[in-house]
Structure 1
Amino acid sequence: MRWNICIVGAGKIGQMIAQLLQQSVNYSVTVADQDLSALALIRAAGIATKQVDASDADALSTSLTGFDAVISAAPFFLTPSIAAAASKAGAHYFDLTEDVAATNAVREMAKDTKTAFMPQCGLAPGFVGIAGAALAEEFDTLECLHMRVGALPLFPTNALKYNLTWSTDGLINEYCNPCDAIASGELVKTAPLENYEILSHDGVDYECFNTSGGLGTLPETLLGQVRDVSYRTIRYPGHCEILKLLLHDLGLERRRDLLKEIFETALPRTNQDVVLVFCTAKGSKNGQLREKSYINKSFSREIGGEVWSAIQVTTAAGVLGVVDLMRQGKLPRAGFVRQEQVKLADFMGTEFGGLYAAGDVLAQYRAA
């Protein structure tokens, strides 16, 4: 069955999602945005567009009539408006938000919808929750599950050792908002930038620390089944110390507008990036204490004659993999749908999940 998809948001991620859908025989795609210059870039690629104000739920719902599904690739603060419009239009709803408050608003709306509402479908939250849940299922009893994810420049040149690869607003939220976790069997909120640790992969040292939103609903799902669940962001060593200076010592956690201006003025964007997913679970299996890791390392690549960053590819593949499973009837068609309801093997078997397969490090080792 061919699906008609509307993407709300013509930014970098919206463009990537649209390109992938355009190349599929299973979808037709339209991109909606208020920005005419952004829509012009989309039209130049031969993709249909609509000019619409996403903050006006009533007007947007009219524009969404007739679509099977809506994907929000807009800023997180527009999430409630877009979700409400999708519900009114009778379309399935997906988004990429890591914002907890926005996700809670979508969950509330999903109680009264006749279509599926599935937020947090990108990389983290999103794919990492699918991978983490798959690891957890391999144990008879689970002791701990730790998920680490980073989107990093391949060639860092500044003191932060970082380039902008994602939404600046979303990045600042991750650094400033409380973080969900399970500690000693209890749901807890932890402070961002804390629980510092070092990990190494392929001879490269990284640092990790708490950030907000990456776990999605996984702690709720695993509550009562595990002692500890955590999510931390991966960066190159030295990044966290500078962030604490900016946010705490200089007080920019209270001036997010100024912090955004500083980041967008001083930190260039790059397509030369790497996305590292590093999940580890420990528990009992067949009477033995066991540990298992899942590692996925993705790089920027050329698709359709254009170079796309690793964060664009993994984020777009994250949402489109679950959209494709919904189209195939392998996910619930109504109400709130969690990432951990997706089977990793099913996801990787979709035409879009295959983009993650190239970064499946352990599968490459097994094949070597």
Structure 2
Amino acid sequence: MAIQSILVLGLGKVGSLVGVLLKKTGFQVTGAARSERTDLPFDTKTIDVSDIHQMVDLMRRHDCVVSCLPYHFNLDIAKQACRNKIHYFDLTEDVPTTKAIIKLSRSATSILAPQCGLAPGFIAIIGASLVEKFDTVRSLKLRVGALPQHPTGLLGYAFNWSPEGVVNEYLNECEVIEGGVHKWISPMEWVEKLVIDGIPLEAFTTSGGLGTMCDTYLGVIDNLDYKSIRYPGHVKLMNFLFHELLMRENRKLAGEILTHAKPPVKKDVVYIHASVEGWQSKQLVRDEFVEAYYPIEIDGKSWSAISWTTAASVCAIVEMAHNGSIADKGFIKQEMISLEDFLKTVNGRLYHTEPHE
């Protein structure tokens, strides 16, 4: 199923790079956003992204739409994509949005693929690739963190990602499988210590990172959870902010305070730590995927680690849809995507880049 023309909705740090990468891959790309952009190597349109009718008119001229907008726009866009037989991809970590898109997909004649970013997204592809090597799995632990390379202050953090998304991850309930039982647990719990490349870190439960993996692996894996990686001490302070100071009651204000205090940095790092324990040929074995990804240069411009790891993931999946490596219609589960095929794509090969500062 060939994809020729792609509409990228939202041209922020990730959306603009999605457009750049897809154009480099050979697709016809149009970008659309509320603010005018004249600095990108593809055609752009200025539209009111809250006006679904404007977006539908633009969507109908393309084979495929990639939404890089905040999650609350995505369900309406997915509905229109389904209705107009347009392939749909997004980066959402929002669980209710994804569940609604799954319902839409039952009658879809085009692809509906939410959760195509880093987590959920790439981390599920990695986790599934580890699981398939085992006869029986007792635990799969998935950890991801986007952090400043050179942290300052007690939080040790910088908002290189959507503040709205981060606040929701810290406050919404988290899906897990524990002891073979599908559960919902509180965020910012189950705190553990990690060390990657000699750097001490902590990880704790956050929502959305598993995508649909609990549904897929219930009855297959005894224990499955996702946690965000931060520098030590971060979760204690965030619990103080949201719960003792009651900022959970005003998520918008909490996001504004945090982004004002901790603006984005150019030198960031994305840590991925996935581990599986289980039995291979009656032997108890542990396997891991542990990587640190740093900013890279694309066409003479430096892109942050969180931007390119997120953008490259959705672009690789679009490529796989184009070349027939995934189903040509219906809902696409990230954990059903082959890591081997993913890494063979033009954009998947970016993950082979040697980390550098």
When the two structures are superposed, what TM-score results if normalisation uses the length of structure 2? 0.97
Per-residue CA deviation, residues 114-165 of structure 1 (Å, 9 max, x unaligned), is 1010000000000000000010100011111000110010010121000111
Amino acid at match of 1:33: A
CA distance in 1, matches of 2:40, 2:202: 39
For 2:147 and 2:124, the matched residues in 1 are separated by 20
Match of 1:138 among 125, 133, 153: 133
1:53 equivalent in structure 2: 48
Does the 8 Å contact 1:54/1:81 carry over to 2? no
Residue 31 of structure 1 aligns with an amino acid whose one-letter code is G
Q: CA deviation at 1:35?
A: 2.1
Contact 1:55–1:81 (CA under 8 A) maintained in structure 2: no
What's the offset of the Cα at 1:51?
A: 2.4
User: What is the alpha-carbon distance in structure 1 between the residues aligned to residue 47 and residue 117 of structure 2?
Assistant: 24
Tell me which residue corresponds to 2:170.
175
Whole-Å separation in 1 of the counterparts to 2:178 and 2:140? 11
Secondary structure of residue in 2 paired with 1:98: coil
> Structure 1 counterpart of 2:44, which letter?
T
Matched, 1:31 2:31: yes
Separation (CA, whole Å) in 2 of partners of 1:189 and 1:359: 37
1:174-213 matched pairs, under 5 angstroms: 174-213=169-208
Give the Cα–Cα distance (whole angstroms) in 1 for the partners of residues 74 and 3 of structure 2.
26
Q: In structure 1, what residue type is equivalent to 2:141? A: H
Q: Tell me whether 1:73 sits opposite 2:74 in the alignment.
A: no
Other-structure match for 2:59:
64
Does residue 227 in structure 1 map to residue 222 in structure 2?
yes
Correspondence for 2:14: 13
Residue identity in the other structure for 1:222 = Y
Write the letter of the residue equivalent to 1:189.
Answer: W
Q: What is residue 4 of structure 1 aligned with on the other side? A: 5
2:335, 2:52 → 1: CA distance? Answer: 29
**Any residues of structure 2 matched to 1:1-368 within 5 Å, and which?**
1=2, 3-25=4-26, 27-36=27-36, 40=37, 43-358=38-353
2:200 is aligned with what amino acid? D
Give aligned-pair identity as a percent. 38
Is the deviation greater in 103-112 or in 46-55?
Answer: 46-55
Distance 1:359 1:170, change over 3 A: farther
**Cα deviations across residues 235-264 of structure 1 (Å, max 9, x unaligned)?**
000100100110110000111121011012
For the residue of structure 2 that corresponds to 1:220, the secondary structure is helix
124-133 or 53-62, which deviates more: 53-62
Aligned residue in 2 for 1:365:
none
> How well do the aligned residues superpose, as a CA RMSD in angstroms?
1.4
Q: Could you say what secondary structure the match of 1:199 adopts? A: strand
Which region of structure 1 is more displaced relative to structure 2, 83-92 or 3-12? 83-92
Q: CA deviation at 1:89?
A: 3.0
Report the Cα distance in structure 1 between the residues aligned to 2:79 and 2:34, rounded to whole angstroms: 18
2:109–2:330 Cα contact (<8 Å) kept = yes
TM-score scaled by structure 1?
A: 0.94
Q: Which consecutive unaligned segments of at least 5 residues does structure 2 have?
A: none
Residue 13 of structure 1, CA deviation:
0.6
Tell me the number of residue pairs that the alignment of Structure 1 and Structure 2 aligns. Answer: 355
Q: Answer yes or no: is the 8 Å Cα contact 2:20–2:41 preserved in 1.
A: no
SS of the residue corresponding to residue 25 of structure 2 reads: coil
Instruction: Output the amino acid matched with 1:11.
Output: G
- Which one-letter code corresponds to 2:17 in the other structure? M
Report the secondary structure of 1:30's partner residue: strand
- Which aligned segments of 4 or more residues in structure 1 are displaced greater than 4 angstroms? none
Give the deviation of 1:45 after TM superposition: 2.4
Q: Unmatched 5+ residue regions in structure 1?
A: 362-368
Aligned counterparts of 1:232 and 1:206: Cα–Cα separation in 2: 12
CA shift for structure 1 position 359: 5.6
SS of the equivalent of 1:23 reads: helix
Give the SS at the match of 1:145. Answer: strand
Q: SS of the residue aligned with 1:165?
A: coil
After superposition, the Cα gap between the structure-2 partners of 1:12 and 1:100, relative to the gap in structure 1 and judged at 3 Å, is same
